[in-house]
Amino acid sequence: MKGNASVIRAYEKSVLATYRRAPVALVRGRGSWVWDADGKRYLDLFPGFGAGALGHCHPRVVAAVRTQVGRLIHVSNAYFNPLQAELAALLLRQAGFGGRAFFCNSGAEANEAAIKLARRWFQVIRKEPRSRIVSVTDSFHGRTLGALSATGQAVYRRGFAPLPGGFVRVRAGDRKAMARAVDRRTAAVIIEPVLGEGGVKPHAPGYLKFVRALARKRGALLILDEVQTGCGRTGTFFAFRQLGVVPDLVTLSKPVAGGLPMGAMLVRDRYARGLEPGTHASTFGGSNLVCAAGLAAVRTATSPAVRANVRARAAQFRAGLEAIRKRHPKLVTDVRGMGLMLGVGLSRPAAGVVARCRELGVLLNAPKKKVLRMLPAMTIRPAEVKLGLSILEKALAEEDSRPKGARSRRAKARRPPPGRSRR
């Protein structure tokens, strides 16, 4: 088998450089562990950018895919597919608001579907000229042009003008700005329950309830983007179920099919006619193979054992990270998040810590310059959390003992070329 270096050289020749990749080619995984092409093993505290919520190659997902792949991989949505109906019912039961599901292949597509549904609901069904979509700064909703227009971080939008119009972005947490932005022209507000790419930032208490009430009062729909928070990671299948808000539409993706590409948009019955036959589609959306994986993944994610593990491991992580913060109060500014969605604020750039952790055999990420993020598998074991915390603390202690502004020679060599996007 080829080693890391030869894979990296092959990329340099043929793959578009849309990512700043870590110099590691991953070739095998099991649970919270992955192996690179040189045979080195890593504890993965950030599997698949959140898509690996059941860890790598969960046996139930693998078994479901193995069975289905030999039976029927894909039929178009011009026919019925029993697995899609079953998965839709399962997801809607978790949402608890009745409704209907639409399946696509990614988070961005799920948000596109939600935006299109909201606009068409008003323009065609209600016959009201509402088109505006309101979102917040530091949000992330995906890379397609519509989802990008909703995305609150200017760095992702730069250079792609003209983007679709009718999008308004206001400062997250600023109630007055939100109240000014949501009016009779507003079709929907789209917001994440916890800002993920924006740096693992929960909203101020009561803010989401305020947004919910405001949207209702002004006659606009509320779309919750649960692409990152969804599927059990926060302690409930949907984060909104602990936050005291019920959306009109909710989007899912990342882990919903256990690591296979799937997006889903759920909408309350009342608005379901927003998309009617012929108005929206996806060739691969909700195909047989992916739905078989989705059924296995959702059943596993909602099992009592996994739910109990999320609660216990989240408490273990929080306590461990708080203890690290107390031992390194100058470097670690705060610990935040919800369930197994964890952010650590630093007073210095996080990139060196991420790289050092990787050398020491632990994978995590930095969504913002001074924030570390972990989205560990919901199946992670107590000993794995303990090991991850101890290696993270070692990397943090080294950073803490380095004179301010100084970098290790290695960190200098590793430094990515100038630019702002971290993905």
Ligand X SMILES: *Cc1c(COP(=O)(O)O)cnc(C)c1O
Binding site for ligand X (CB under 6 A): 106-108, 111, 140-142, 192, 196-197, 225, 227-228, 253-254
Q: Which is nearer to ligand X, 267 or 396 (CB)?
A: 267
On the 0-12 / 13-18 / 19+ scale of CB atoms within 10 A, 159 is exposed
Residue nearest to ligand X (CB): 107
**Of the candidates 328, 357, 253, which has an alpha carbon nearest to the alpha carbon of residue 298?**
253
Q: Which is nearer to ligand X, 227 or 301 (CB)?
A: 227
Q: Which is nearer to ligand X, 51 or 391 (CB)?
A: 51
For the bound state, the minimum distance from the C-beta of residue 402 to ligand X, rounded and expressed in Å, comes to 32
For the bound state, the minimum distance from the C-beta of residue 25 to ligand X, rounded and expressed in Å, comes to 21
Strands annotated E in 87-184: 100-104, 132-136, 167-170
For the bound state, the minimum distance from the C-beta of residue 363 to ligand X, rounded and expressed in Å, comes to 17
For the bound state, the minimum distance from the C-beta of residue 49 to ligand X, rounded and expressed in Å, comes to 6
For the bound state, the minimum distance from the C-beta of residue 123 to ligand X, rounded and expressed in Å, comes to 24
Report the run of H or E that residue 135 belongs to, with start and end: strand 132-136
Q: Which is nearer to ligand X, 220 or 227 (CB)?
A: 227
How are beta strands 132-136 and 186-191 bridged, if at all? parallel
Distance CA 378, CA 356 (A): 24
For the bound state, the minimum distance from the C-beta of residue 194 to ligand X, rounded and expressed in Å, comes to 9
Asked if 218 contacts 184 with a C-beta cutoff of 8 angstroms, the reply is: yes
On the 0-12 / 13-18 / 19+ scale of CB atoms within 10 A, 381 is middle
Q: Which residue has the tokens 């997801």?
A: 91
Q: Which is nearer to ligand X, 202 or 320 (CB)?
A: 202
Q: Which is nearer to ligand X, 138 or 197 (CB)?
A: 197
Distance CA 395, CA 109 (A): 37
- Alpha-carbon Rg for the chain, nearest whole angstrom, is 21
